Structure 1
Amino acid sequence: MIYTASQFHLQYIAKYQLIVKANYIHDVIYVVDAEGNLLVYMKYESNSPTEEALKLLSLPFQHVYVSIPHSNLTFIPNDLYDMEDTENYQEFMDNPMRPAENVSLTYLQTQAYFQYDVLLEQRWKSIFPDAKFVPEFKLNLEQARPHIPLQGEVLGLVFNETAVDLFLFINGQFKFYNTFEIKTEEDLNYYVLNLFQVFGLQAKISKAVYSSLNNENPLINRLSNFAKHIVELKASQPLLVSDEEVAGLAKDYITELPTCAL
C-alpha cells in the first residue's frame, strides 16, 4: 500500500521524520512532519521494494528511526547488574564475538542485552548511517506500560508476521518476555497456556494487550479465551491525516518510535 499526502514537499525533507519498521517479509515506512501530520505511508515486500519506495529511501532524511527484530534477549535486574560482567552476558549471544547492544529500561529497573538481526542492521545502516535504532521489545513494553495496574495479570501479545512477542506482568511486576514462531491459532494457544502453567495462572487472567492484528483476524477471538479484558495498543497521540480513508494508519503505535528512542 502507498499513501502520499498532498502536503508532502521534497524541499522540507530535512525537517521530516522517517519511521521504519522492517523485517524479512515487509518494510513499513511512515513520513511525519513536525506538526504530527502523516505525509507518506508505504508497505512493500522487503525483497522487492517498489520504485516509489526506492526513490523515497534515496532522499536525504535527517531524522530516521528504525525498528528491526532482535535476538538473544536477556534481562538483568539492576540490583544484579554489574558492568564488569559484560563478557559473561556476551556469552548468551548467537555470535559472542559480535558486541551486544545494551538498553536500560528505567521504569522496570532492568538492563536488557541483545543483538539485532545482523543482515537487517547492515542493510538499514548502509542506507541511513546516522539512523537511530530502537529494539522492538523496548517499544512494546513502553506502549504497554499505561495498561499495567499494580494488581492483576497482564499478558502482552505483539504479532509480527509469522511470530509473536509474549510478555507478562503480575501485580505490576515484569515477569517474562520471549518471541515465538506461530503458524496457526493452536501454536498461539500452546505457548500462552504453557506460560500460564509456568506461572500458576488461571485460564482467564485480568487483561491482555495486543497489537498488529486487524479486526477481521481470527486470532482476536482467541484472545478472549486468555483474558477477561482485551485492549489494543494504539498510539497515545495519533497522527493527523487529511484523508479519512487512511485514518487507521495514524493510530499505529509504531509511529511513536521517535519518542521511545529518546
Structure 2
Amino acid sequence: MNYISEKFNIHFLPEYTLSAKAGFSKDVIAVTDKQLNLNLLLEYDAENPKLDATQILSLPFRYVKVVIPHQSLTFIPKEVFQEDRLSEYAPYLVEHVPNHIHTYEMKNLGIVAVFEYDLILYNRWKALFPDAEIFPEFCIILDQAQDLVPIRGSVLGVHFVSDHLVDLYLFQNGQFMLYNSFDVHFADDLNYYILNIIQQFSLTDQVSKVLVSGEIPNDTYRKCLERYSTTIAHLESKSKAHINKDIEGINFKKYNTLFDAILCE
C-alpha cells in the first residue's frame, strides 16, 4: 500500500498526526489532519523501508502515536492492583525487568494490564520520535471488541498480529475471561489453540460470535474460524478517518488499530 494525497503539505506538519502500527516484518504509517482526513498511508518492510517512508519518518511531526504489540502480558483486578509494587508482577512477564514494565488501566473492564513491549520495536520508534506516545495493541483491540459483545453467550476474539502471531481473547456472558498470544504457522495450529480454550472454559463447539481483526494470512484460517460460529464479525476503527474515494478499494479493516491510535490518550 502506497498512498500520498495531493493535499499532503509539509507546511501543515504542526497540524498533522503521524500514526504508526509497528510490526515484526512490516510497519504501516498514516498521516491525518485535524479533520481526520487521511493524507498518507504507507506500508513497508520494517527492516528495509522504502524511500517514501524514510522521507516521511525524517519529518519533525509534533503529534506521533505508535501502536506496538506486547511481548508479555498479565491482567490484575483494579481493586487489588498496586502501582508501587510493580516488581512483584515481574515474574509473570518474560523479561522480569521492572524498568521495562508498563501498565494500562482498562476502566470498562475493571482491570489493569501489566505488560512488556517488544523492546526492539519500542526502541526503534523511540529513537525515531523520542516524544512519541506509544500504546499496546491489545488495548485498542479490547476497546473495539466491547461494543460487539452481547450480555449472553460466548465471544471468541481472534486478532492476527502478524503472519505467525495471533492474539486470542474470550468474553463469556459479557465478562472478560482471557487474552493470550500464540505462535501460529498453520491453520491447524490456530485450531489447536482454539480447541484448548473451548475445553478450558467448558464451551460448546460453537460460540455465539467470532470477532476477527488484523490481516488474515489466507483462506484456510478463515475456514477454520467458520467452524466455531455462524456469526463472524470484523472489528473496525472508531476514529472514522475520511478516506479518499480513489483508494476505497483497499481493505482498511486490517488497519483498524492503526487508525484508532489517533483516539488513544
Shorter-chain TM-score range: over 0.9
Match of 1:171 among 173, 186, 194: 173
Query: Following TM superposition, by how much is the alpha carbon of 1:2 offset from its aligned partner in structure 2, in angstroms?
Result: 1.1
The aligned residue for residue 31 of structure 2 is 31
Q: Deviations over 1:76-115 (max 9, x none)?
A: 1123323343221123233333421011110010011111
Equivalent AA in structure 2 for residue 38 of structure 1? L
Contact 2:64 2:132 in 1 (8 A): yes
Q: Deviations over 1:148-185 (max 9, x none)?
A: 11111111000022111000000011100000011111
Query: Following TM superposition, by how much is the alpha carbon of 1:216 offset from its aligned partner in structure 2, in angstroms?
Result: 6.3
The aligned residue for residue 113 of structure 1 is 114
Q: How does 1:57-96 map to 2 (within 5 A)?
A: 57-96=57-96
User: Is 1:256 equivalent to 2:260 in the alignment?
Assistant: yes
TM-score, structure 2 normalization: 0.93
The aligned residue for residue 43 of structure 1 is 43
Equivalent AA in structure 1 for residue 19 of structure 2? I
Contact 1:240 1:250 in 2 (8 A): no
Q: 1:29 to 1:120 in 2, by over 3 A?
A: same
Equivalent AA in structure 2 for residue 224 of structure 1? E
The alignment of Structure 1 onto Structure 2 pairs a total of residues equal to 261
Unpaired runs of at least 5, structure 1 = none
* Distance in 1 of aligned mates of 2:232 and 2:140: 19
Please identify, of 108-117 and 81-90, the stretch whose mean Cα deviation from structure 2 is larger.
Answer: 81-90
The aligned residue for residue 235 of structure 2 is 233
Unpaired runs of at least 5, structure 2 = none
Contact 2:214 2:256 in 1 (8 A): no
Q: 1:19 to 1:82 in 2, by over 3 A?
A: same
* Distance in 2 of aligned mates of 1:30 and 1:145: 25
Q: 1:132 to 1:247 in 2, by over 3 A?
A: farther
* Distance in 1 of aligned mates of 2:250 and 2:23: 22
Contact 1:241 1:250 in 2 (8 A): no
TM-score, structure 1 normalization: 0.94
State the percentage of identical aligned residues.
Answer: 33
Please identify, of 122-131 and 241-250, the stretch whose mean Cα deviation from structure 2 is larger.
Answer: 241-250
The aligned residue for residue 244 of structure 2 is 242
Equivalent AA in structure 2 for residue 15 of structure 1? E
Query: Following TM superposition, by how much is the alpha carbon of 1:126 offset from its aligned partner in structure 2, in angstroms?
Result: 0.7
